[in-house]
Amino acid sequence: MFEFPSLFRLDNRVAFVAGAASGIGLAAARGLAAAGALVVCADTNSAGAASASESIRERGGKSEALALDVTDAAAVNQAFLDLEQRHGRIHTVLTTPAVNIRKRLLDYQAADFDKVIRLNLAGAFHVLQAAGRHMQAHGGGSIILCSSMRAVTVEPGQSIYATTKAGLIQMARGLAVELGPCGVRVNCIAPGVVETPLTAPIKNQPEWYNAYSARNALNRWASAEEMAGPVVFLASDASSYVTGTVLFVDGGWTAIDGRFAPPV
């Protein structure tokens, strides 16, 4: 039976966030902690992970830091084993690390392709696999991948990045089907234009920045903090019957044509 006042609470749960040092990962880590979870802030930037964890504790939350490169499968697997020994169970896993090399597809070099695929797809796969094995053994949990509106809409220079974000959705759906009988839920959020370190170069070009603002239904960019609510929702019992799906958090970008508003 549901206790409606506590549907979004995560008290006595452990959440693991990869990419917690900045951007969406940092905002989500803070949101999960505010909902009551003990948050493991993982990032290849060890100082950034420590800073994120400290910022949560300063707000009265519970957190610890973990230096982790998600492209290292052995390190990811060991991290989950270590966390299981310390905490017993991990209830929520979010992975956000990504890189975008903006080049037209015909200009891509093999090294560019490998770099984007290695972090965006392979890194997420390592976390997904380790989390899935852990949650399968413990009879449940919520895994959240950070896809993008670019999974379904693309522009010049975004082809390979978009490919990885579409791939994340299919990986999430596949694992959701495979682990659903074990009580494990797997979903994606698909942000639109969000002000993060990854998009800082766009913000520094007013014409580009303003064009993106005008393109979505809300006529503005999102803050990273606006991604925390959807993550908490997917981590909580409020989404207990939600799996294998994509939650677009894109300000209506994928709902609006955006080129012309006809007089009606």
Residue 96 Rama label (left phi>0; alpha psi -120 to 50; beta): alpha
pLDDT in the model for residue 242? 98
CA–CA dist 186, 50 (Å, integer): 27
Question: Tell me: the pLDDT tens digits for 140-159?
Answer: 999 999 999 999 999 999 99
pLDDT in the model for residue 2? 66
Question: Tell me: the pLDDT tens digits for 175-205?
Answer: 999 999 999 999 999 999 999 888 888 888 9
pTM of the model: 0.95
CA–CA dist 209, 246 (Å, integer): 26
Q: Are 227 and 27 in contact (CB under 8 A)?
A: yes
CA–CA dist 66, 15 (Å, integer): 12
pLDDT in the model for residue 200? 84
Q: Which residue ranges in the chain fall short of pLDDT 70?
A: 1-2, 258-259
Domain ranges of the chain: 4-250
Q: Are 252 and 151 in contact (CB under 8 A)?
A: no
Q: Which member of 108, 161, 212, 241 is catalytic?
A: 161
144 - beta bridge partners?
94, 187
SS3 content of the chain, % helix, strand, coil (to 5): 50, 15, 30
Answer whether CATH 3.40.50.720 is correct for domain 4-250. yes
Number of DSSP helices (H) and strands (E) in the chain, helices first: 9, 9
pLDDT in the model for residue 198? 80
Instruction: For residue 8, give both structure tokens.
Output: 């979004």
Active site residue 161: yes
